[in-house]
Amino acid sequence: MQCYTVRSIVTVALAVIVVLLAVAPDASPAREKPILAGSALDEEGGPSEKRVYVTVDPRIELLAVVQHFTSWASGGHIKSKTTYKSDIDDYFGDFKRHRAIACVESLIRAGFTHDAPVRFILHHGDPPELVQESPYSDYLVRRARGKEPLRELADALRDFARKTDFMKFYRAHSTLYSSHVAAVESLLADKNYVHAIEHFFGKSAASYRVILAPLFAGGYGPGIATQDGLDLYAVLGPCGLRGERTTFACLGYLESIILHEWSHSFVNPLVDQYYDRFDKSAHLFEPIKGMMRRQAYPSWRIALYEHIVRACEIHIRASLNEKFNTDRAIRNQEAKGFWYIGYIDSLLTAYQTHRGRYPTFDQFVPVIAMRLSEVSVEDLPESVTTFAGPLNSIFPRTDRIYLIYPTATEDELMGKIREDIEAFATFFSSATPVKFSTVSDREALGIDWQDKVGFVYGNTTNNLFLRSLKIPLPVRFGDDVIELGTERYEGGEILLISCMPNPFNRSLPFALCANGTWIM
Does any domain span residue 196?
yes
Tell me, what DSSP letter sits at residue 433?
S
Does any domain span residue 265?
no
Looking at the structure, do residues 369 and 484 belong to the same domain, yes or no?
Answer: no
Looking at the structure, do residues 138 and 114 belong to the same domain, yes or no?
Answer: yes
Looking at the structure, do residues 87 and 227 belong to the same domain, yes or no?
Answer: yes
Does any domain span residue 12?
no
271 by Cβ neighbours in 10 Å (0-12 / 13-18 / 19+) ranks as buried
Looking at the structure, do residues 51 and 105 belong to the same domain, yes or no?
Answer: yes
Instruction: State residue 15's pLDDT score.
Output: 36
466: helix, coil or strand?
Answer: helix
Does any domain span residue 366?
yes
Domain boundary among 258, 287, 319: 258
Domain boundary among 206, 224, 258: 258
> Does residue 56 contact residue 172 with C-beta atoms inside 8 Å?
no
Does any domain span residue 437?
yes
**Strands 229-236 and 207-212, how do they pair?**
parallel
Looking at the structure, do residues 254 and 328 belong to the same domain, yes or no?
Answer: no
Instruction: State residue 260's pLDDT score.
Output: 96
Q: CB within 8 A of 509, min separation 6: which ones?
A: 387, 389, 393, 394, 397, 398, 453, 499, 500, 501, 502
Q: Measured at the alpha carbon of residue 56, what is the angle toward residues 54 and 57, in degrees to the nearest 5?
A: 110
Looking at the structure, do residues 283 and 366 belong to the same domain, yes or no?
Answer: yes
Instruction: State residue 43's pLDDT score.
Output: 41
Does any domain span residue 17?
no
Instruction: State residue 499's pLDDT score.
Output: 84
Looking at the structure, do residues 371 and 406 belong to the same domain, yes or no?
Answer: no
Does any domain span residue 264?
no
Domain boundary among 352, 385, 418: 385
> Does residue 502 contact residue 444 with C-beta atoms inside 8 Å?
no
**Strands 219-220 and 229-236, how do they pair?**
antiparallel
Q: Which of 339, 321, 322 is nearest to 330 (CA)?
A: 339
Alpha helices in 18-55 (DSSP H): none
> Does residue 4 contact residue 500 with C-beta atoms inside 8 Å?
no
Q: Which of 308, 34, 49 is nearest to 195 (CA)?
A: 49
Q: CB within 8 A of 486, min separation 6: which ones?
A: none
Looking at the structure, do residues 295 and 372 belong to the same domain, yes or no?
Answer: yes
Looking at the structure, do residues 402 and 253 belong to the same domain, yes or no?
Answer: no
Q: Peptide bond preceding 238: is omega within 30 degrees of 0, i.e. cis?
A: no
Q: Of how many residues is the chain composed?
A: 520
pLDDT tens for each residue of 139-186: 999 999 999 999 999 999 999 999 999 999 999 999 999 999 999 999
The structural domain count of the chain equals 3
Instruction: State residue 407's pLDDT score.
Output: 85
Structural domain that includes position 189: 22-258
- Per DSSP, the residues of 66-80 read HHHTSTTHHHHB--S
3-state helix, strand, coil in the chain (%, to 5): 50, 20, 30
Cα first-last separation, the chain? 24
CA 478 distance to own-chain centroid? 38
Please give the Cα distance from 41 to 197 (Å, whole number). Answer: 10
The one-letter code for the residue type at 172 is: A
> Does residue 465 contact residue 445 with C-beta atoms inside 8 Å?
yes
Q: 381 vs 251, 384, 469, 504, CA distance in Å?
A: 33, 6, 25, 19
Does any domain span residue 301?
yes
- Give the chain's residues under pLDDT 70: 1-50, 410-412, 427-431, 471-480, 484-485, 491-495, 515-520
Q: Which of 62, 245, 224 is nearest to 154 (CA)?
A: 62
Q: 492 vs 384, 515, 517, CA distance in Å?
A: 37, 8, 5
497: helix, coil or strand?
Answer: strand
Q: Which of 396, 381, 382 is nearest to 509 (CA)?
A: 396
The predicted model scores a pTM of 0.80
- Per DSSP, the residues of 195-257 read HHHHHHHT---SEEEEEE-TTBSSEE--EEEETTEEEEEEEE---EEETTEEE---HHHHHHH
Looking at the structure, do residues 86 and 178 belong to the same domain, yes or no?
Answer: yes
Looking at the structure, do residues 470 and 351 belong to the same domain, yes or no?
Answer: no
Instruction: State residue 240's pLDDT score.
Output: 87
Looking at the structure, do residues 153 and 206 belong to the same domain, yes or no?
Answer: yes
Q: CB within 8 A of 411, min separation 6: which ones?
A: none
